[in-house]
Amino acid sequence: MPPRSPVKLALLFLLFGYLCQLDMNEPMLNMKRDTIHDENRQGESYAPVCDDPVEYSRKFYIESYGCQMNFADSEIVASILNDSGFGVTRNVEEADLVFLNTCSIREKAEQTVRKRLTEFRKIKKARPGMLVGMLGCMAERLKSKLLEEEKLVDIVVGPDAYRSLPALIGEAEGGQKAVNVLLSREETYADISPVRLDSNGVTAFVSIMRGCNNMCSFCVVPFTRGRERSRDARSIVDECRDLFEAGFREVTLLGQNVDSYYWNPLLSDPNNQDNNIGQLHHPVTFAGLLQMVAAISPLLRVRFSTSHPKDITDEVLLAMAGHENICKYIHLPVQSGSNRILQLMNRTYTREWYKAKINRIREIMPECGISSDIIAGFCTETESDHADTLNLMEYCRYDMSYMFYYSERPGTLAQKRFRDDVPLELKKSRLEEIVKLQQDMSLQSNQNDLGKTFKVLIEGDSRKSADHWMGRNSHNKVIVFPKKENGLDKGDYVKVNVKECTGATLIGEMM
Ligand code: SAH
Ligand code: SF4
Ligand code: F3S
């Protein structure tokens, strides 16, 4: 992997979206940061915290939607654009290029982007030379149809085709519409150093794989992101080490299904070239990768998302238990508690299997935080299926969940095979029950922490007051506590005793 350019290292980016309000129309309850799909960050644009020393004559503006992997991709895109002479701006009015990195997961996600596009119309009218590009999953799903439907759009690029952006921009500047939505079996952008967007300077996201081979019947991701492929383990470890050396103290390893990470050095690199983590002679599994990243420094916390219940192994759980700096938190989406619905969803596990997984996690790590994703009102769901979901949630005692009502996506197996027959009002009322139960359980989970002391990584000022720090414990719970005049800074670890709580936050005092 080539060394990071000082220009890129100099670009640290400001966290903005956390201050935005949650859109209550969205069928999702976001009580904490979701490492996968953070509603508070939808539409977030880049904001450099320090000026880029390079004077770029042309500027790009980029807004990101969807899951954390899409946000991580925007950082790759920024890197590619920097290299071809475009500097980032947060002011869309001065941009030569405007990009929306889009999401297709639910209909609402696509509507949000289409609405946003209409807002660019006026700007483009005033500055006809400005080019508008659609990136990401919606670009992949709709392909050139997007150009027909949205006249404003000049460039359409799918998630595996970002290397072709400079050429596509050239084509579009010549007056042609430009499209590249080819999916790849190999592309992982392993050699591209992302320009950090999410920068509190303490926590960062690192993509370890792309695509998904699971065919959950409700899900559009396998169609928009293509086949699963794992990134070179050495480039992952290098990126994490660079982050650590730049002052970061937490990395979250990202993939749609991280537990199926598998990288074989001998297949990917027959010469098995040495690099600074030495030669690798064996295939690397996810458990192996976790340990390699954890070995960078005991001061570097390691998180990961998302785990598929069918794939998370004992090896992974034991690696977590064996390393203090691998955070004791697992996001293990269940989707439904009904065996019949799980089968229709093609999730390949039963509620009994899922419960056994939860038991195993708690056996190996009794204090492990566990969260979930849940879909209400999938095709044919009955009251009894819904009741199964509620009672499975109670069994699992999730600390937190992301909850949605089912949104039919064109081209998915469910759309082809099943009727979306649960009326919207019913989907919404079931979702409400699920949300209410989760709120009660989240509050209960936080109340159980009263009086306990946790090691907390300080991420920055609390949202509400600069007199308080905000950080997280290993279990991914947010803790807010008063600053004392003792020279602490973000990136430091402190012991915090929990005094009070709400359903979303622990409130404590430094020990
Ligand atoms: N790879 C992850 C999830 C990716 S999408 C996993 O397998 O767990 C994030 C979440 O969006 C999913 O877990 C699911 O709960 C939700 N989701 C996906 N497709 C959806 C749809 N069509 N309607 C409603 N929610 C959906
Ligand atoms: Fe979608 Fe299932 Fe893949 Fe997750 S595992 S991205 S829900 S197909
Ligand atoms: Fe992510 Fe949305 Fe694509 S959740 S993978 S950006 S469809």
Model pLDDT for residues 451-507, shown as the tens digit of each residue:
999 999 999 999 999 999 999 999 999 999 999 878 899 999 999 999 999 999 999
Q: Is residue 62 part of a domain?
A: yes
481 with 439, same domain: the answer is no
C-alpha separations of 326 from 137, 284, 319, 346, 454 in Å = 31, 17, 8, 30, 15
- Cis amide linkage into residue 188, ω under 30° from 0: no
Cα 216 to ligand 2 centre (Å): 6
Q: Identify whether residues 328 and 461 lie together within a single domain.
A: no
To test the pocket of ligand 2, the residue of 35, 68, 219 to mutate (highest count of ligand atoms within 8 Å of its CB) is 219
Residue bearing tokens 């946003």: 116
pLDDT tens-digit readout, 247-288: 999 999 999 999 999 999 887 665 555 555 556 778 999 999
Q: How far apart are CA 285 and CA 296, in angstroms?
A: 17
Better-predicted residue by pLDDT, 185 or 12:
185
CA atoms within 13 A on the CB side of 509: 4
CB of 212 sitting under 6 A from ligand 3: no
Which ligand 3 atom sits nearest the alpha carbon of residue 70? Answer: 6
Cα 336 to Cα 341, 389, 420, distances in angstroms: 7, 5, 16
Residues 488, 435 share a domain: no
Q: Is 72 in the pocket of ligand 3 (CB under 6 A)?
A: no
**Ligand 3 mean position to 210 CA, how many Å?**
11
Testing ligand 2's pocket by substitution, the residue of 212, 228, 308 carrying the most ligand atoms inside 8 A of its CB is 212
Which one has a higher pLDDT value, 223 or 49?
223
Share of the chain above pLDDT 70, in %: 88
CATH of the domain at 371: 3.80.30.20
Residue 1 lies in a domain: no
- Position 470 scores a pLDDT of 98
The total domain count for the chain is: 3
Is residue 119 classed exposed, middle or buried when 0-12, 13-18 and 19+ CB atoms within 10 A define those classes?
A: exposed
Among residues 432, 447, 462, the one where a domain terminates is: 447
Residue 326's closest CA among 256, 250, 262? 250
* CA separation for the pair 379, 174 (Å, rounded): 47
Ligand 2, atom 2, lies closest to the CA of 216
Report the nearest atom of ligand 2 relative to the CA of 219.
1
Residues 477 and 506 in one domain: yes
Together in a domain, 407 and 464: no
Q: What are the tokens at 387?
A: 């009741």
The candidate with the shortest Cα–Cα distance to 154, out of 132, 124, 174, 185, is 132
CA dihedral 165→170→174→177, nearest 10 degrees, is -10
Residue 189 belongs to a domain: no
| Closest C-alpha to 134, from 120, 30, 123, 126 | 120
Q: How many CA atoms lie within 13 A of 242 on its CB side?
A: 23
Q: How many Å lie between the centroid of ligand 1 and the Cα of residue 219?
A: 6
Can you tell me the distance from the alpha carbon of 446 to that of 62, in angstroms, rounded to the nearest whole number? 37
In this prediction, residue 7 carries a pLDDT of 36
In this structure, what token pair is assigned to residue 189? 């952008």
Residue nearest to atom 2 of ligand 3 (CA): 103
Mean pLDDT of the chain: 89
The position carrying tokens 């390893």 is 253
Q: How far apart are CA 177 and CA 180, in angstroms?
A: 10
| Integer Cα distance of 218 and 104 in angstroms | 12
Q: How far is the CA of 215 from the centre of ligand 2 (A)?
A: 7
Task: Indicate if 221 and 113 belong to the same structural domain.
Answer: no
- Kindly state whether residue 19 falls inside one of the protein's structural domains: yes
- Whether 106 is in the pocket of ligand 3, judged by its Cβ within 6 Å, is no
> Is the distance from the beta carbon of residue 142 to the nearest atom of ligand 3 less than 6 Å?
no
- Same domain for 80 and 164, yes or no, is yes
Residue 478 domain flag: yes
188 falls within a domain: no
For 101, phi then psi, to 5°, come to: -95, 110
Distance of CA 77 to the CA centre of its chain: 16
How many whole angstroms from 483 Cα to the centroid of ligand 2?
41
Centre of ligand 1 from the C-alpha of residue 37, in Å: 9
Q: Is the pLDDT of residue 54 over 80?
A: no
The model's confidence at residue 21, banded by pLDDT at 50, 70 and 90, is very low
Last residue of a domain, one of 125, 146, 180: 180
Last residue of a domain, one of 399, 428, 447: 447
Q: What CATH number is attached to the domain comprising 12?
A: 3.40.50.12160
**Which ligand is located closest to the Cα atom of residue 256?**
1
Tell whether the model's pLDDT for residue 24 goes beyond 90.
Answer: no
The residue to mutate among 138, 311, 373, 398, having the most atoms of ligand 1 within 8 angstroms of its beta carbon, is: 373
Are residues 288 and 416 both part of a single domain? Answer: yes
The structure's pTM equals: 0.91
Measured from the Cα of 222, ligand 2's closest atom is 8
CA of 166 to the centre of ligand 3 (A): 23
Q: What share of the chain is helix, strand, coil (3-state, %, to 5)?
A: 35, 20, 45
Protein residue closest via CA to atom 1 of ligand 3: 67
In a domain, 419, yes or no: yes
Ligand 2 contacts CB of residue 414 (under 6 A)? no
What pLDDT score was predicted for residue 57? 87
Asked if 230 and 275 sit in the same domain, the reply is yes
CATH number, residue 474: 2.40.50.140
Is residue 462 domain-shared with residue 394, that is, in the same domain? no
424 with 490, same domain?
Answer: no
Determine the Cα–Cα distance for residues 124 and 380; give it in Å rounded to an integer: 45
Termini Cα distance of the chain = 42
Q: Residue 141's domain spans which residues?
A: 6-180
- pLDDT over threshold 50, residue 27: no
Torsion, CA 4, CA 161, CA 97, CA 54, rounded to 10? 10
Ligand nearest to the CA of 42: 3
- Helix (H) / strand (E) element for 88: namely strand 86-88
d(CA 26, CA 106) in angstroms, rounded, equals 10
Same domain, 208 and 301: yes
Task: Compute the half-sphere exposure of residue 196: CA atoms within 13 Å on the CB side of its CA.
Answer: 31
Rounded Cα distance between 349 and 311, Å, is: 10
* Residue 277 counted as domain residue: yes
Q: What's the CA angle centered on 433, arms 427 and 437, to 5 degrees?
A: 145
Could you read off the pLDDT of 434-452 as tens digits, one per residue?
999 999 999 999 999 999 9
Which has more pLDDT, 303 or 128?
303
List the Cα angle 394/68/297 in 5-degree steps.
90
